[in-house]
């Protein structure tokens, strides 16, 4: 079998009450980059867990043939021994150990049970060179950025003589540069004969590097596309993922923009870690009633820091500058007071900072505005349940009931709970930080619709996103931020992806990107 390194045939995997995979087929040719795409919950991770032995042989039905040999993996180590390495989204590195120690973790370079540190670091250095990471092998992993950690993971995989490398959303939290580097590395590895499976929501990069693309939907294989056939583009893939033509990825809205609702002037924020470092520099911006304003920029441009420093000084030290709400100066000293002033902020990281995952939907929705369903600190639980029910049906939160735990919901539905929570505080100004990150195409559309509805009600929305197409798709006006500064402003009509990127790049040339 020269052709296929991996054949997964009629894989079916059941969870209690759910058919996660039904009759899925996946064939990966030797030496190719094979992309696996699909909406969240389509079964991509489940399929890879079957491949990696996370779900042991016997808990699923179907055949798994690797290098022409039928395999029945019981543990992750069984699959790794065959040369299959899966790099998960949550990296499996030990933060306080060095790069070298991490690379050879559980595979230590040793003689007679004693670790040979010289060999460890010598071998690790060779691997780092291979993946193009210019760092010492004695550096602690916690001191590296996510992009570099990703490379350490790949180096670790290479140390195990990997034949099939699986990357689950490797670029989800990387900036453009790091993503480029990583994708380049995949192509290098391909030239060296390593086959890879790439799971990604970023269809642009999929089209760029993949040789073939398998689309999963609702736990079933829809089709496998060959990029060599030429006419594969993002829209073609999306059609397969959602099962229909997305005529419009963004819902329409007729903007009715009113007077200025919120304004900041000369906003400065210093880093809490090194109080001499300015993170936000003389930022000024205005939001008008009924307006959706985008805040574009690269990772690390200071957008989240700006937003969080506005939101009751949740980030930064030595915050200075003035803020105005409806023309009157406001103090935004604590989160509570900021919410009460009508300014709310939905964080970019819903799992670690947005939701109480062990709490139910109802508790999560009302927590920031409990005063509205309580009298003298006693909660009216009937009224509270009614509020939650209303949001559940209005925002179409797919769940068994308002008593379902937030942690059991899919990403898109979790995000809707977060939005409900902040809409319930009845803000005039709502700051949304990457509200569509990691959620599927269908749910994204619903989130955009909710944002449009808020704008129609006369609220102002500040929309932070790293995906330029969606910023262009839904915003009336766009600010561009780089290195802590607002470096450009575009009305909707004049904004293009190229224009915004050019604006960022020009600023990078002039000031650098967060280097000082």
Partner 1 sequence: MGSIKDLLRNNVRQYGMLIALVFIMLFFQVATGGVLLVPMNVTNLVLQNAYVFILAIGMTLCILTGGNIDLSVGSVVAFIGALSGTFIITLDMGVGASIALVLAVGLVIGVWQGFWIAYARIPAFIVTLAGMLTFRGLTVFMLKGLTIGPFPESFQQISSGFVPDLIGGEESLYNWTALAAGAALALLFVLSESIQRGYRRRNGYESLPLPLFAAKLALTVGVIALASYWLASYRGIPVIFIVIGTLVAAYSFLTTRTVPGRYLYAMGGNEKAAQLSGIDTNRVLFLAYVNMGMLSAVAGIAVASRLNAASPLAGQNFELDAIAACYIGGASASGGIGTIVGAIIGALVMGVLNNGMSILGIGSDIQQFVKGMVLLLAVAFDVISKRRAR
Residues that bind partner 1 (CB under 8 A): 311-312, 314, 334-336, 338-339, 345, 347, 352-360, 363, 367-368, 370-371, 374, 377-379, 381-382, 385-386, 400-405, 421
Report, in Å, the least distance between residue 418 CB and partner 1: 9
Closer to partner 1 by Cβ: residue 17 or 112: 17
Closer to partner 1 by Cβ: residue 371 or 514: 371
Closer to partner 1 by Cβ: residue 91 or 368: 368
Q: What's the first-to-final CA gap in the chain, in angstroms?
A: 55
Closer to partner 1 by Cβ: residue 56 or 251: 56
Closer to partner 1 by Cβ: residue 250 or 311: 311
- Residue located via tokens 């760029």: 208
Q: Provide the 8-state DSSP code for 352.
A: I
Report, in Å, the least distance between residue 334 CB and partner 1: 8
SS3 480: strand
Specify which residues 36 forms β-bridges with.
Answer: 199, 214
Report, in Å, the least distance between residue 336 CB and partner 1: 4
Report, in Å, the least distance between residue 191 CB and partner 1: 40
Closer to partner 1 by Cβ: residue 311 or 490: 311
Bin 49: left if φ > 0, else alpha if -120 < ψ < 50, else beta. alpha
Distances (CA, A) of 255 to 120, 148, 394, 463: 61, 42, 22, 15
Task: Calculate ∠ Cα 303-307-308, nearest 5°.
Answer: 115
% helix / strand / coil in the chain, to the nearest 5?
A: 35, 30, 35
Report, in Å, the least distance between residue 286 CB and partner 1: 24
Alpha helices in 117-162, H assignment, sequence order: 117-131, 146-159
Report, in Å, the least distance between residue 438 CB and partner 1: 17
Structure tokens at 445: 């559309």
SS3 421: helix
Report, in Å, the least distance between residue 269 CB and partner 1: 17
Q: How long is the chain?
A: 516
Report, in Å, the least distance between residue 345 CB and partner 1: 7
Structure tokens at 310: 């506005």
Closer to partner 1 by Cβ: residue 239 or 405: 405
Closer to partner 1 by Cβ: residue 300 or 371: 371
Report, in Å, the least distance between residue 131 CB and partner 1: 33
Strands (E), 326-476: 328-330, 343-346, 374-375, 378-379, 429-433, 460-464
Closer to partner 1 by Cβ: residue 153 or 434: 434
Question: Which residues are CB-contacts of 316 (< 8 A; sequence separation ≥ 6)?
Answer: 269, 270, 271, 272, 279, 280, 305, 308, 309
- Residue located via tokens 């390194």: 5
CA torsion through residues 156, 160, 163, 164, sign: negative
Residue 334: half-sphere exposure toward Cβ, Cα within 13 Å? 3
């Amino acid at each position: 079998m020269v052709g296929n390194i991996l054949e997964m045939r009629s894989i079916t995997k059941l969870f209690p009450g759910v058919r996660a995979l039904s009759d899925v087929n996946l064939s990966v040719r030797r030496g190719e980059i094979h992309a696996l795409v699909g909406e969240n919950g389509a079964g991509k991770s489940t399929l890879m867990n079957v491949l990696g032995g996370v779900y042991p042989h016997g808990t699923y039905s179907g055949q798994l043939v690797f290098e022409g040999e039928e395999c029945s993996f019981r543990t992750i180590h069984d699959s790794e021994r065959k040369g299959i390495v899966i790099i998960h989204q949550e990296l499996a590195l030990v933060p306080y150990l060095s790069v070298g120690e991490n690379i050879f973790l559980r595979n230590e370079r040793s003689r007679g049970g004693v670790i040979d540190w010289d060999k460890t670091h010598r071998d690790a250095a060779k691997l780092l060179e291979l993946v193009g990471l210019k760092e010492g092998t004695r550096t602690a992993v916690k001191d590296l950025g996510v992009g570099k950690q990703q490379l350490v993971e790949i180096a670790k995989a290479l140390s195990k003589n990997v034949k099939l490398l699986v990357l689950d959303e490797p670029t989800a939290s990387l900036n453009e540069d790091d993503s480029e580097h990583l994708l380049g590395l995949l192509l290098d590895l391909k030239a060296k004969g390593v086959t890879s499976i790439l799971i990604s929501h970023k269809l642009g990069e999929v089209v760029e590097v993949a040789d073939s693309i398998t689309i999963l939907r609702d736990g079933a294989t829809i089709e496998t596309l060959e990029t060599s056939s030429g006419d594969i583009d993002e829209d073609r893939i999306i059609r397969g993922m959602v099962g229909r033509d997305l005529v419009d990825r963004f819902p329409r809205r007729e903007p009715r923009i009113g007077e200025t609702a919120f304004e900041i002037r000369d906003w400065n924020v210093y880093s809490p870690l090194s109080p001499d470092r300015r993170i936000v520099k003389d930022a000024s911006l205005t939001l008008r009633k009924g307006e959706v304003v985008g805040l574009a920029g690269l990772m690390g441009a200071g957008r989240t820091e700006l937003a969080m420093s506005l939101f009751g000084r949740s980030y930064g030290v030595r915050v200075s500058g003035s803020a105005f709400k409806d023309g009157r100066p406001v103090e935004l000293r604590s989160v509570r007071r900021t919410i009460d002033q009508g300014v709310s902020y939905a964080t970019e990281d819903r799992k670690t900072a947005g939701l109480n995952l062990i709490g139910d939907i109802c508790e999560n929705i009302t927590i920031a505005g409990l005063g509205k369903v309580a009298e003298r600190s006693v909660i009216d639980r009937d009224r509270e349940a009614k509020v939650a029910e209303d949001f559940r049906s209005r925002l179409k939160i797919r769940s068994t009931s308002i008593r379902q735990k937030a942690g059991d919901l899919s990403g898109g539905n979790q995000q809707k709970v977060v939005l409900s929570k902040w809409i319930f505080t009845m803000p005039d100004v709502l700051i949304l930080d990457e509200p569509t990150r990691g959620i599927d195409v269908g749910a994204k559309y619903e989130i955009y619709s909710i944002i449009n509805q808020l704008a129609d009600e006369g609220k102002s929305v500040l929309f932070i996103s790293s995906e330029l197409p969606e910023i262009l798709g839904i915003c009336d006006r766009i600010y561009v931020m780089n290195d802590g500064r607002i470096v450009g402003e575009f009305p909707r009509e004049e904004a293009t992806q190229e224009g915004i990127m050019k604006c960022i790049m020009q600023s990078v040339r002039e000031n650098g990107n967060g280097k000082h």
